[in-house]
Structure 1
Amino acid sequence: MNGPKIMFHIGGIGISETITTTWLIMLVLITFAYVGTRKLEKVPGKLQNFVELLVDAFYGMVEQTMGKHNLGYTPYIGTLFLLFMLANLVGLLGLRAPTADLNTTLAMALVTFVLVQAQGLRTKGVGGYFKGYLEPLPALLPLNLIGELANPVSLSFRLFGNIAGGMVITSLLYGFLAWVSTGLVGLPIPIFQVGIPAVLSIYFDLFTGVLQAFIFTMLTMVFVAMAE
């Protein structure tokens, strides 16, 4: 599987498929947020009902996982889930998923890492925060530090590995079916590429895409809540 291609340049800086697709997803989310909240009514229509249902679901998820006192994280958590869900699902449209680029998943995992440290400092204070690395024994300081630094690594590689792995498997399947069609059977066109890969695309792009977005979001909430 090749890496993301450079689509165009801005001031001599190459803009890759990852960045371009991410910008498109951001535009979709911003437009959805604007249209969905532009004209709120006491008697909501279908779009407003959907938006309110979505917002209530995110607030309920944050309250259940992180507690009522952490409801302020809901806008970020909701945005994170929607961003990753769309980033994982764009493969259905023939675009390269931004989450198949380790730069994307690592960057968002580092944001989670910063949130975790900030939450620990805010709730425990500076003394309590650093004391936590010495528990239960001061000799475990190196292990505690390694464990803390391992979180963003595992977060980023889990999402990246699942999405990139799906792309690799699908690409190999397309190549194999093309060989079967033209090389083995001798057909003039790779007809076996039609239909068969769609089943795998539904699994890897749809089911796995939504699931991995939920897992990343849920782990972010758990890590932040555990930092208190």
Structure 2
Amino acid sequence: MNNLTKALMEELTVEYVKVGPLQIPESVVISWVILAIVTIGSILLTRNLKVDHISKRQAVLEMAYLAGTNFFEGLLGEKGRRYVPYLMTVAIYIAFSNLIGVFGVKPPTKDLDVTAALALMSIVLIEGAGIRARGGVGFFKSLAAPTPVMTPMNILEIAIRPTSLCMRLFGNVLGAFVIMELIKLVVPVFVPAVFSLYFDLFDGLIQTYVFVFLTSLFMKETMGGED
């Protein structure tokens, strides 16, 4: 168990990379690498797209884009269409951040600061969408729904939402690491490799889905989707 405790503390410790006179968190540097890979990959994949004579590459890209767009529009409705590009971008970033562990790189989502930043960005979007949909007066009136007595609870909910998004993503990613370390202690050969594949691939994609799904649901509720 001492080895598990040591490994856990190492995972929770924020490493820094020296860039000139600056000390930059490792998670930030890895995020830059992910963004560079995604950007370059997007440029290469979207070159020479045509309206006619569609290639297999273009057909796959269009299918993926339509699947993502239909998924989020189905959750958000017509009023939330403008927010779909942001949600798809966040989904791509979190997915790559979780999957990068396959290559032996520490995922940025194991850094609580990264998950907190993602949650804060989402809650700003959620409340901003509510204000845009309801108007300033309508949004503040919604804080007193269904009765003025609930106002403190509704305001508290605004603070709880980003906390739940942050801790759910961070906790699940870290929890997968703890389970893997326990499996290595009990069965050190072969089995850990199978479970590692599951946690690094399948579970990472599940956490991506949960994060953007909850963000979409919160947005729909704030915009008045329950009406």
Contact 1:8 1:14 (C-alpha < 8 Å) held by counterparts: yes
Q: 1:220 aligns with which of 215, 218, 223?
A: 215
The share of aligned pairs that are identical, in percent, is: 33
Higher mean C-alpha deviation, range 192-201 or range 161-170: 192-201
Matched, 1:211 2:220: no
Matched, 1:158 2:181: no
Who is 2:36 aligned against? 27
Q: Distance in 1 between matches of 2:106 and 2:203?
A: 15
Matched, 1:9 2:9: no
Matched, 1:69 2:64: no
How far the C-alpha of 1:160 sits from its partner, in A, is: 0.5
Q: How many residues align?
A: 213
The amino acid of 2:39's aligned partner reads: I
Q: Distance in 2 between matches of 1:9 and 1:79?
A: 28
Q: Deviations over 1:109-161 (max 9, x none)?
A: 11110011111111111111111111122122111111121000001100110
Q: SS at the partner of 1:40?
A: coil
Q: 1:50 aligns with which of 33, 53, 60?
A: 60
How far the C-alpha of 1:220 sits from its partner, in A, is: 1.1
Matched, 1:101 2:144: no
Q: Distance in 1 between matches of 2:84 and 2:192?
A: 37
Provide closer, same or farther for how the CA distance between residues 116 and 5 of structure 1 changes in structure 2, counting only shifts above 3 A.
closer
The amino acid of 1:130's aligned partner reads: F
Instruction: Tell me which structure has the larger Cα radius of gyration.
Output: 1
Q: Deviations over 1:148-175 (max 9, x none)?
A: 210000011001101011112223443x
Q: Which runs of 5+ in 2 are unaligned?
A: 1-7
The amino acid of 1:48's aligned partner reads: Q
Q: Distance in 2 between matches of 1:225 and 1:17?
A: 35
Q: SS at the partner of 2:143?
A: helix
How far the C-alpha of 1:196 sits from its partner, in A, is: 2.1
Q: 2:196 aligns with which of 201, 206, 219?
A: 201
Provide closer, same or farther for how the CA distance between residues 95 and 4 of structure 1 changes in structure 2, counting only shifts above 3 A.
farther
Contact 1:4 1:17 (C-alpha < 8 Å) held by counterparts: no
Aligned ranges 1:44-193 → 2 under 5 Å: 44-174=54-184, 176=185, 193=188
Contact 2:99 2:201 (C-alpha < 8 Å) held by counterparts: yes
Q: Which runs of 5+ in 1 are unaligned?
A: 178-191
Q: SS at the partner of 1:43?
A: coil
Who is 1:186 aligned against? none
Q: Distance in 2 between matches of 1:153 and 1:129?
A: 21
Q: Distance in 2 between matches of 1:20 and 1:125?
A: 39
The amino acid of 1:219's aligned partner reads: L
The two structures have a TM-score, normalised by structure 2, of: 0.87
Q: Distance in 2 between matches of 1:194 and 1:141?
A: 55
